[in-house]
């Protein structure tokens, strides 16, 4: 089946206004998958105006009920379920992730469809909220929640379909219209999302998908005066530009940015479980996960056992083309795909080289020769890598690597562990491994992050809020908190009949 490669604006598939395209590549082989239409500022303008017309029109926005919007989202779930394997293989091709990971993403999409449909229905039951205004009945005040309007969403490449859904579904549930700019590194599944929502009955203009380059399409979307809310997931440097553009509105903005999350392994932890969760926290997605618990802090009393068990597990992780016969034959056995691009791959190798030069010890991986022949030597591969005693002032310890690189240090006291974990510009997530529930609760409270995992790493549930603090951003995706990001509150105050202040 040919890939969808055009822009989706106002319910129609169209070429870019200037005919421009960009190539999306298979990161396992470096080969071109398809030439995709590259949106211009003019295309973004058309998409925003289509979204505005839809949200102000007779079939969406305030003119729609939560039940009507929920019906679209539930129907989307049916369409996604019918195309489950196709969608998983598309992200595996375009982004490079193993099929078991891509299938898990599609399962999460299904959960999001059901969850946000239920939240949309719940909006019908809310009604106006009465407020005690202290006027002794001279005035009555109520508060209602309404769609914020047009949402401009800019999403990353590490979870192409899922991140699109995280931004689009709560906005649609709230009654907003969306212009989605997916990453140019993996845009194909977001285009399929547009087709599936059209099949599910979404009105034209409620979702517009405009793949394109960040400095062109992304900048135009962030700058557009008719966008009411910007929702961005990506890097901190790009977020600063989004914030600056939002300030010219001004317009609402939510940011889910990078991380340098820590895992704290205390001496009473189940070491086997800690190793398993540490691998999940760093090797899932080939480390291209913003919440990756890549800084692993292990108590000195269990460091030797932890390292021994960790190194024993790593050789079982296969690295290769996720859709090759060899990798498919492995089923759900431990596997990693390529990094998303040549640029990202070289960036990760640069961090490994810098860490080695700074005095870190390479316990596993870190050698280009290990992956030189993988998939014919044309893809963007980095082997699972463990760096021990990484200097706390080094780039590898302090900056987001976004690759399969575990950085290890030890600690002696709880105070030291918490201080080291908090000594970061980021604050997205952290994991605490301990058999002591009291210690877990105490440490969780002291960690300056938006998400804390106790005796696990990386679970994300559509019902729970997702987001960080510090340079990991602000605002939340998922749950009712994600829906709240797409709603505004309106005060309605009525004066009692015949009452007057008598001021004039």
DSSP letter at 484 equals: H
DSSP state of 466: B
Rounded Cα distance between 387 and 407, Å, is: 5
Within 8 A by CB and 6+ apart from 287, the residues are 294, 348, 382, 401, 402, 403, 404, 405
* 290 among known catalytic residues: yes
CATH code linked to domain 7-257+472-491: 3.40.605.10
Task: Summarize pLDDT for 2-61 with one digit per residue, the tens.
Answer: 899 999 999 999 999 999 999 999 999 999 999 999 999 999 999 999 999 999 999 999
Q: Which one is catalytic: 176, 190, 290, 407?
A: 290
Name the segment(s) of the chain with CATH classification 3.40.605.10.
7-257+472-491
d(CA 13, CA 7): 6
pLDDT of res. 1: 63
Residues of the chain with CATH 3.40.309.10: 262-454
Q: For the full predicted model, state whether its pTM sits above 0.95.
A: yes
Given the residues 121, 256, 400, 485, the one annotated as active site: 256
Q: What is the structure's pLDDT at 2? A: 87
Closest CA to 250 of 274, 232, 228: 228
Three-state secondary structure call for residue 434: coil
Q: What is the pLDDT of residues 461-478, one digit of tens each?
A: 999 999 999 999 999 999
What is the number of alpha carbons within 13 Å of residue 263 lying toward its C-beta?
A: 30
- Containing H/E element for 405? strand 405-411
Q: Are 430 and 266 in contact (CB under 8 A)?
A: no
- Can 256 be counted among the known catalytic residues? yes
User: What homologous superfamily is domain 262-454 in, according to CATH?
Assistant: Aldehyde Dehydrogenase; Chain A, domain 2 (3.40.309.10)
Kindly report the number of other CB atoms within 10 A of residue 332's CB atom.
10
The pLDDT profile of the chain, 504 residues, written as one tens digit per residue, is: 689 999 999 999 999 999 999 999 999 999 999 999 999 999 999 999 999 999 999 999 999 999 999 999 999 999 999 999 999 999 999 999 999 999 999 999 999 999 999 999 999 999 899 999 999 999 999 999 999 999 999 999 999 999 999 999 999 999 999 999 999 999 999 999 999 999 999 999 999 999 999 999 999 999 999 999 999 999 999 999 999 999 998 999 999 999 999 999 999 999 999 999 999 999 999 999 999 999 999 999 999 999 999 999 999 999 999 999 999 999 999 999 999 999 999 999 999 999 999 999 999 999 999 999 999 999 999 999 999 999 999 999 999 999 999 999 999 999 999 999 999 999 999 999 999 999 999 999 999 999 999 999 999 999 999 999 999 999 999 999 999 999 999 999 999 999 999 999
Residue 26 CA to chain centroid, in angstroms? 21
297 contacts: CB under 8 Å, gap ≥ 6: 262, 263, 264, 265, 409, 410, 411, 417, 420, 421
Q: How far apart are CA 179 and CA 1, in angstroms?
A: 26
């Amino acid at each position: 089946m040919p890939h969808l490669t055009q822009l989706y604006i106002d319910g129609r598939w169209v070429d870019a206004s200037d005919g421009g395209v960009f190539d999306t590549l298979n990161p396992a082989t470096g080969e071109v998958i398809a030439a995709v239409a590259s949106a211009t500022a003019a295309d973004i303008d058309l998409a925003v105006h289509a979204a505005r017309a839809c949200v102000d029109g007779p079939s969406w926005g305030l003119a729609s009920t939560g039940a009507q919007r929920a019906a679209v989202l539930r129907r989307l779930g049916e369409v996604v379920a019918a195309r489950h394997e196709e969608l998983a293989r598309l992200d595996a091709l375009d982004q490079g992730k193993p099929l078991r990971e891509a299938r898990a993403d599609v399962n999460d999409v299904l959960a999001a469809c059901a969850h946000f449909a239920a939240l949309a229905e719940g909006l019908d039951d809310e009604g106006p909220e009465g407020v005690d205004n202290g006027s002794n009945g001279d005035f009555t005040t109520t508060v209602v929640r309404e769609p914020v309007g047009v949402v401009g969403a800019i999403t990353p490449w590490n979870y192409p379909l899922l991140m699109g859904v995280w931004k689009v579904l709560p906005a649609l549930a709230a009654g907003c219209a969306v212009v989605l700019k997916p990453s140019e590194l993996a845009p194909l599944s977001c285009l399929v999302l547009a087709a599936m929502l059209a099949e599910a009955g979404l009105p034209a203009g409620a979702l517009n998908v405009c793949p394109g380059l960040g400095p062109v399409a992304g900048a135009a979307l962030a700058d557009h005066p008719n966008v009411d809310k910007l929702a961005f997931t990506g890097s901190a440097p790009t977020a600063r530009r989004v914030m600056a553009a939002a300030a010219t509105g001004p317009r609402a903005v939510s940011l889910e940015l990078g991380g340098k999350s820590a895992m704290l392994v205390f001496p009473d932890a189940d070491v086997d479980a800690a190793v398993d969760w540490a691998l999940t926290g760093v090797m899932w997605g080939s480390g291209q996960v913003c919440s990756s618990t890549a800084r692993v802090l292990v108590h000195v009393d269990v460091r030797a056992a932890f390292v021994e068990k960790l190194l024993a597990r790593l050789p079982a992780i296969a690295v290769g083309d996720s859709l090759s016969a060899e990798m498919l034959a492995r089923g759900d056995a431990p596997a990693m795909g390529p990094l998303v691009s040549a640029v990202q791959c070289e960036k990760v190798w640069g961090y490994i080289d810098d860490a080695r030069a700074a005095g870190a010890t390479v316990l596993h991986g870190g050698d280009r020769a290990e992956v030189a022949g993988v998939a014919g030597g044309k893809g963007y591969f980095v082997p699972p890598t463990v760096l021990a005693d990484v200097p706390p002032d080094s780039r590898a310890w302090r900056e987001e690597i976004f690759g399969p690189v575990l950085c290890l240090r030890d600690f002696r006291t709880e105070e030291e562990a918490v201080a080291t974990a908090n000594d970061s510009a980021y604050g997205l997530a952290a994991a605490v491994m301990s058999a002591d529930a009291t210690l877990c609760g105490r440490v969780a409270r002291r960690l300056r992050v938006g998400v804390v995992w106790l005796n696990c790493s990386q679970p994300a549930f559509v019902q729970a809020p997702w987001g960080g603090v510090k340079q990991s951003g602000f605002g939340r995706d998922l749950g009712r908190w994600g829906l709240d990001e797409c709603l505004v509150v309106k005060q309605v105050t009525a004066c009692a009949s015949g009452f007057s202040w008598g001021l004039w």
